[in-house]
Structure 1
Amino acid sequence: MANQQISWRGVFPAVTTQMHQDQSINWQAQAKHLEVLIDSGVHGLIMCGSLGENQTLLPAEKRAVVKHAKEVAGGRLPVLSGVAEMSTAASCQYVQDMEALGADGVMVLPAMVYKSDARETMAHFRTVAAASKLPIIVYNNPVGYGVDITPQMFAELADVETLVAIKESSADTTRITELANTCGVRYAIFGGVDTIIPECVLMGATGWIAGVGLAFPKENARMWELMMAGDWAKARDLWRWFLPLMTLDIGPHFVQKIKLVLQEAGLGAEWVRAPRLTLAGAEREEILALIHKGLAERPSLD
């Protein structure tokens, strides 16, 4: 069902784009993983984000990935798409295409490559928002993309009704409080850095755009349930197992690392789209050791 209501709460994983070794999209593996995620109780799916390798997919492929996810989901939960285009015009065209094929929302980044200033950044989001009626998660990731959307900028953008949520990935938990102090409850706040999710939730985040949880969806769901219930003793116990794995979400090779953990957990394959290459050498051995330790010590959820 297109444009279904979204509660803007809960776990919205940033889904990988599964590929064959020749870098073509593996639609069968993609559908299988989506079903596992849906079965785990996630509250939404975000396709073609940074983890979905948006910028290495061809324009037609990005649209096909979202269309496929909508077909697999079959109205069971909302499906959103990342928007990571080179220009404001291309972003506007993309969100219009997403609206036409029935996406339920979009997660919009600043335009890629050029590092826009505050005035340019806000003009970009206003223009993209005006191009469709889709609700928008604004993705703030100054660490990865070099553009910081500050709480004051969000306050200035508050009159744009379709800007409904923020993926806060500055890796600074004080931002959650600063957003609340500056914007009140105007926006839903999603934590976007796996390693600091408990702190984000304690400070008021109501959503989690998860990465490593793609490989451990049941444990991810349990962690969210415990945090929402305020059962922090049990949440801490689970988190102490989870945190070493969560570090896979950090650094320039986070896509390769998370695809490798998906492979080792039996939920996908490590193949990525160039210029990315699969992990090799000492780095690969180190990451495999971390993953295998986590799998060996995987807690019982009974």
Structure 2
Amino acid sequence: MSMWHGVIPAITTRFNHDGSVDHGFLAEHCAWMLDAGCVGIVPLGSLGEGATLSTAEKQAILQTCVKVAGSNPVIPGIAALSTAEACQMAQIAAAEGCSGLMVLPPYLYSTDWREMQAHMSAVISATELPVMIYNNPVAYRTDFVPSQIAELAQRHANVQAVKESSTDVRRVTAIRAELGQRLEILVGVDDAIVEGIAAGAVGWIAGLVNAFPHESVELFQLAQAVTAGHGDRARLEALYAWFLPLLRLDTVPKFVQLIKLTQAMVGMGSETVRAPRLELVGAEREAAVSVIEQALARRQELWP
């Protein structure tokens, strides 16, 4: 099976009280995800607070993930302020034994296609590793439209997949129209996973999976089965209805804090984030806690 098929957590980064990375928990967390049926790990992404990590910290995280993952792919997010830094990180990932790369546009600089194409091409060409292009115009203000994704795929043989996070599931069919089966398409927005699979996506770079791995894998597999015409639609609808209030936590600016809060409430993580992020407080935290508590209370109905 392709390395891009299935549920692949965009894993969070837990920090110790002194601000250092908690590698003991990171190893435990990776193992929990994989034991639940996830097919790989994506560290150093937006959810992993990659923008706050030093190069040395990123390298150490990759070492931990690769060691735990074994034969499962580790596909780090590659993003930086400069093209040179992104290329360097891609080469570090290759040297540490990662299986592929999730390549993002630059963190801050959003411009025209000529410059974005040059940046992406440089990073894609920095190694021979398989690449998944990450399109998230909501967060990065750079929108790789289907024709541009097709251009990159046609120019670079190692571009194998795209993580589509535009929130528009029509992009899945639009990419298929441009490229047929040339690229694997993965959903990158949690609350569009069922719709994305119905449109033709084969993978899910997931967020709430960090707190609910078994439920995420079941949801993904049910959606695939129903799309193929032999699944339990009633079970899928019930599970999705239960999960959606939680999945929507992945779609707002403070998604990192919200997902880490959810992890803490299920006993698998902590709320600690790195500045400039701050932990949720007051009415904002109370509202999130209410959503999570309601879901946990109803969990027993689906898994007696």
The TM-score with structure 1 as length reference comes to: 0.95
Matches within 5 A, 1:43-122: 43-75=39-71, 77-122=72-117
Name whichever of 228-237 and 35-44 sits farther off.
228-237
Alpha-carbon distance in 2 for matches of 1:6, 1:130: 21
Structure 2 residue 37 is the aligned partner of structure 1 residue 36: no
Is the 2:161–2:186 contact (alpha carbons within 8 Å) kept by the matching residues of 1?
A: yes
Is the 1:154–1:183 contact (alpha carbons within 8 Å) kept by the matching residues of 2?
A: no
Q: Deviations over 1:173-207 (max 9, x none)?
A: 11111111112111100000001111111000000
Q: Deviations over 1:115-165 (max 9, x none)?
A: 021111111111111110111110000000000000010121122111110
> 2:206 is paired with a residue of what secondary structure?
coil
Letter in 2 for 1:186: R
Name whichever of 158-167 and 142-151 sits farther off.
158-167
Alpha-carbon distance in 2 for matches of 1:192, 1:259: 18
Give the share of equivalent positions with the same residue, in percent: 44
Alpha-carbon distance in 2 for matches of 1:164, 1:185: 10
> 1:137 is paired with a residue of what secondary structure?
strand
Name whichever of 103-112 and 255-264 sits farther off.
103-112
Is the 2:193–2:204 contact (alpha carbons within 8 Å) kept by the matching residues of 1?
A: yes
Is the 1:219–1:301 contact (alpha carbons within 8 Å) kept by the matching residues of 2?
A: no
1:10 to 1, 6, 11: 6
Matches within 5 A, 1:280-291: 280-291=281-292
> 1:157 is paired with a residue of what secondary structure?
helix
Structure 2 residue 135 is the aligned partner of structure 1 residue 140: yes
> 2:16 is paired with a residue of what secondary structure?
coil
TM-fit CA distance, 1:71: 1.0
Alpha-carbon distance in 1 for matches of 2:188, 2:104: 13
2:222 to 217, 222, 226: 226
Is the 1:138–1:165 contact (alpha carbons within 8 Å) kept by the matching residues of 2?
A: yes
> 2:153 is paired with a residue of what secondary structure?
coil
Is the 1:80–1:105 contact (alpha carbons within 8 Å) kept by the matching residues of 2?
A: yes
Q: Deviations over 1:5-30 (max 9, x none)?
A: 84311111100001123322111221
Structure 2: tracts of 5 or more residues without a match? none
Q: Deviations over 1:30-85 (max 9, x none)?
A: 1121111111010110001100000001110011111111111223x111110111
Alpha-carbon distance in 2 for matches of 1:138, 1:152: 13
Name whichever of 34-43 and 17-26 sits farther off.
17-26
Is the 1:109–1:140 contact (alpha carbons within 8 Å) kept by the matching residues of 2?
A: yes
Residue equivalent to 1:248: 249
Letter in 2 for 1:163: V
Residue equivalent to 2:239: 238
Residue equivalent to 1:204: 200
TM-fit CA distance, 1:233: 2.5
Closer/same/farther in 2, CA of residues 63 and 6 from structure 1, 3 Å limit: farther
Name whichever of 254-263 and 291-300 sits farther off.
291-300
Is the 1:46–1:80 contact (alpha carbons within 8 Å) kept by the matching residues of 2?
A: yes
Structure 2 residue 158 is the aligned partner of structure 1 residue 157: no
1:124 to 119, 124, 138: 119
CA RMSD of aligned residues (A): 1.2
Is the 2:193–2:220 contact (alpha carbons within 8 Å) kept by the matching residues of 1?
A: no
Alpha-carbon distance in 2 for matches of 1:134, 1:283: 41
Alpha-carbon distance in 2 for matches of 1:60, 1:116: 29
Structure 2 residue 280 is the aligned partner of structure 1 residue 279: yes
Structure 1: tracts of 5 or more residues without a match? none
2:168 to 166, 172, 175: 172
TM-fit CA distance, 1:255: 0.1
Letter in 1 for 2:92: D
